Amino acid sequence: MSERVIIFDTTLRDGEQSPGASMNSAEKLRLAGQLERLGVDVIEAGFPAASEGDFEAVSQIAGRLKRCETAGLARAAKADIDRAWQAVRHAARPRLHTFIATSDIHLQYKLRMDREQVLQAAVEAVRYARSLTDNVEFSAEDGSRSDRDFLCRVFEAAIAAGAATVNLPDTVGYAVPDEFGELVHYIRRHTPNIHRAVLSVHCHNDLGLATANTLAAIRAGARQAEVTINGIGERAGNTSLEEVVMALATRATRLGVGTGIHTEFIYPTSRLVSMITGIMVQPNKAIVGANAFAHEAGIHQDGVLKNPMTYEIMKPESIGLSASQLVLGKHSGRHALRTQLKEMGYDLSDEELNLVFTKFKELADKKKQVMNEDLEAIVTEGILRTADVFVLDYLHATAGTTVLPMASVRMKINGRLTQDAGYGNGPIDAAFNTIAKLTGTSSELMRFSISEVTVRLRENGLVALGKGADPDIITASAKAYINGLNRLEYLKTHPLQEAATV
Ligand code: KIV
Ligand code: ZN
């Protein structure tokens, strides 16, 4: 493979802007480690000026990453750039990413600046960032809807001021592939110093075209793709990493450029993002959806059994989806557990493994076979979730056609045991009512999904997702509800300040 596309992952920044996807610092740190293992080149860890929490998380990630570059986002303003630099300066390989909008509609209504002022602001921002590091990226927000010649002028000036990467965002997901590819060609032909920088693209999926647009741009010479795991992100999301990477790998002879991604970590990383954010992957999602490698029609199954290549363009193992899942039971030991967790992408410390092992044994006593989904739930509850205020200690619920549904609940709240009982329309309603009473909370139940036991709660404008798993549906539901309450508690103490322009 002669050429390589730089994979710039923005799951922790643009991905985190998905409604309800906010992650805490510990979760972000774990995900950053997994992204490094996956082999991404750059991790955009956050937008440090947006909030204290974002700053902290970016700073911690910067201190942790060894091989990947750590990028911090900043508006084209000195204060933002200073904040981003404070957060990433101690990284092994820091990058400053500064941006300003270039489309007339953004200039007129959002920035209230004219083109010359924007050009000047871009140059000053890049020059200032460049005084701090030689690894500066400049983005022209809403670039795809900008006047082409003005866009080229801004890129030329940004490169002259020291930008090593210039990024073309399709901020509102408006572009179509031939047009976007043509725009990349245009920029390459009309920006005299473009050969001195890497040309990057950043697409949103409002028309479902983010991957197609990114591939068209790569065909036209872009050499950095900005992506997120599972395509999560603002509104309809961003270009999904797994789609771009697997398209480049599967159609290598046609597309002719590769990436440094270890594709066998794609599936575990996708699961981790889904677990942490609570955003489920749609079953028919390309590459990582539950049905992506499932063959239903008899004629397809027959063909796949004779030769997988009849209907499979990729091997499931190439994305880390092992064909056979090792079933663990109560006789399985620590070594088998560690091996299975590693295969699933969880590289745990000895202390974490001990914790998971204890919970695994408890579950194996109740349930004959412990499946990967059970292990994921144990890891999510025991390791990925930190410092819960509310913990379920005991639950007993009654239901039936002739009894009044009732629940008795004992909980640990801030370390103190407390218990109560209450009624409801059914056992789950009774459990939720009692938990709400015990915790003194008043969230509104916005969603309740039985299959995955996911809840979405809203309290005073704050929205949080909760997930829970247990062989008993009522206990699993109560755990999901409590997890949602814990996430609300976290949001109350870590208010996310709105990023004004992103
Ligand atoms: O979509 C967008 O324009 C962005 C920029 C900040 C790169 O996310
Ligand atoms: Zn974006």
Query: The domain spanning residue 367 has which CATH number?
Result: 3.30.160.270
- CA–CA distance, 467 with 274 (Å, rounded to integer): 11
Cα of 169 to ligand 1 centre, how many Å?
6
Q: Is 310 contained in some domain? A: no
Same domain assignment for residues 227 and 348: no
Q: Which domain holds residue 23?
A: 3-277
Q: Which atom of ligand 1 is nearest to the CA of 204?
A: 1
338-373 confidence digits (pLDDT tens)? 888 887 778 888 999 999 999 899 888 887 788 877
Total structural domains within the chain: 2
Query: What pLDDT was estimated at residue 50?
Result: 95
CATH code for the domain in which residue 255 is found: 3.20.20.70
Q: Is 50 contained in some domain? A: yes
Q: Is 474 contained in some domain? A: yes
Paired residues of 242 in beta bridges: none
Q: Which of 215, 243, 277 is the C-terminal boundary of a domain? A: 277
Nearest to 47 by CA among 366, 499, 501: 499
Helix (H) or strand (E) holding 124: helix 115-132
Cα of 463 to ligand 2 centre, how many Å?
22
Residue 502 has pLDDT above 60, yes or no: no
* Residue 501 banded pLDDT, cuts 50, 70, 90: very low
- CA–CA distance, 141 with 102 (Å, rounded to integer): 6
Give, in order, the Cα–Cα distances in Å from 287 to each of 61, 216, 428, 459.
28, 19, 35, 36
pTM of the model: 0.80
Same domain assignment for residues 12 and 103: yes
Same domain assignment for residues 352 and 485: yes
* Residue 500 banded pLDDT, cuts 50, 70, 90: very low
The single residue listed with the structure tokens 């976007």 is 180
Six-digit token string for 120: 């000047």
Query: What pLDDT was estimated at residue 459?
Result: 87
Q: Is 315 contained in some domain? A: no
By the CB criterion, residues less than 5 angstroms from ion ligand 2 are: 14
Same domain assignment for residues 238 and 375: no
Pocket of ligand 1 (CB under 6 A): 14, 99, 139, 141, 167, 169, 171, 202, 204, 502
Same domain assignment for residues 52 and 127: yes
Paired residues of 467 in beta bridges: 454
Cα of 55 to ligand 2 centre, how many Å?
19
Name the percent of the chain lying above pLDDT 90. Answer: 61
Cα of 141 to ligand 2 centre, how many Å?
8
Which residue is closest in CA terms to ligand 1's atom 1?
Answer: 171
Nearest to 46 by CA among 68, 30, 62, 66: 62
Q: Which of 245, 277, 309 is the C-terminal boundary of a domain? A: 277
Residue 119 has pLDDT above 80, yes or no: yes
- Ligand nearest the Cα of residue 50 is 1
Same domain assignment for residues 422 and 479: yes
Cα of 106 to ligand 2 centre, how many Å?
15
Same domain assignment for residues 243 and 373: no
Torsion (CA) 379, 381, 385, 388 in degrees, nearest 10: -150
Strands 406-413 and 416-423: antiparallel
Exposed/middle/buried for 160, CB within 10 Å: 0-12, 13-18, 19+? middle
Q: Is 311 contained in some domain? A: no
Q: Is 306 contained in some domain? A: no
Six-digit token string for 164: 């090593």
Stronger pLDDT, 1 or 414, i.e. the higher one: 414
Q: Is 446 contained in some domain? A: yes
Same domain assignment for residues 261 and 331: no
Residue 499 has pLDDT above 80, yes or no: no
156-212 confidence digits (pLDDT tens)? 999 999 999 999 999 999 999 999 999 999 999 999 999 999 999 999 999 999 999
Six-digit token string for 145: 């809807």
Nearest to 261 by CA among 45, 31, 41: 41
Probe residue for ligand 1, chosen from 10, 14, 42, 136 as the CB with the greatest number of ligand atoms within 8 Å: 14
According to DSSP, residue 260 is labeled: -
Contact 67, 99 (CB under 8 A): no
Six-digit token string for 102: 């270039």
Q: Is 152 contained in some domain? A: yes
Same domain assignment for residues 237 and 358: no
Cα of 63 to ligand 2 centre, how many Å?
25
- CA–CA distance, 482 with 29 (Å, rounded to integer): 23
Q: Which of 219, 252, 277 is the C-terminal boundary of a domain? A: 277
* Residue 2 banded pLDDT, cuts 50, 70, 90: low
Same domain assignment for residues 70 and 219: yes
- Ligand nearest the Cα of residue 168 is 1
Q: Which atom of ligand 1 is nearest to the CA of 14?
A: 8
Same domain assignment for residues 265 and 346: no
> If you average pLDDT over every residue of the chain, what do you get?
90
Same domain assignment for residues 399 and 270: no
Angle at the Cα of 341 from the Cα atoms of 335 and 342, rounded to 5 degrees: 90
440-473 confidence digits (pLDDT tens)? 999 988 877 665 688 888 888 787 888 887 756 7
Paired residues of 395 in beta bridges: 409
Contact 232, 11 (CB under 8 A): yes
One-letter amino acid at 55 equals: F
* Residue 227 banded pLDDT, cuts 50, 70, 90: very high
